[in-house]
Amino acid sequence: MKTPEHLKYTETHEWISSEADGTLAVGITDHAQEVLGDIVFLELPPVGKRFAPGEACAVIESVKAASDIYMPVAGVVVAVNEDLAKSPEQVNADAYGAWMFRVEPDSAADLEGLMDAAAYADHAAK
């Protein structure tokens, strides 16, 4: 299982990358895509919608199951990865290269409550 050091992680298996423009890119972890199996569908959140931390904001479906994706921080969705919506199998090929949406966070301090790579690796191993 890969857990890049530069990312933050949630207990619900989302990864978060701080982008140069102040937004956060969000995707699912390598562990999550392995558990899900072959991903066949992705329903992304609407651009412009505000979400609370922990609120279900997207859906990912695999040949095994459908799962919610949760907003890691409070904020507004500012972009979605339309290419990924058309070819969701990209998540299986490279989970950390396949960002799903970008959010403008209400507060950068919200990132402090997220896990680093070591903490997430411990969490995912349980």
Structural domains of the chain, with CATH: 8-124 (2.40.50.100)
Alpha carbons 48 and 91: distance in angstroms, whole number: 24
pLDDT at residue 19, rounded to an integer: 96
Sequence-ordered list of residues with C-beta below 8 angstroms from that of 79, at least 6 positions apart, any chain: 23, 47, 101, 102
pLDDT at residue 108, rounded to an integer: 84
pLDDT at residue 1, rounded to an integer: 78
Q: What is the pLDDT of residues 14-52, one digit of tens each?
A: 999 999 999 999 999 999 999 999 999 999 999 999 999
Q: What is the pLDDT of residues 58-112, one digit of tens each?
A: 999 999 999 999 999 999 999 999 999 999 999 999 999 999 999 999 998 889 9
Alpha carbons 36 and 13: distance in angstroms, whole number: 11
pLDDT at residue 26, rounded to an integer: 98
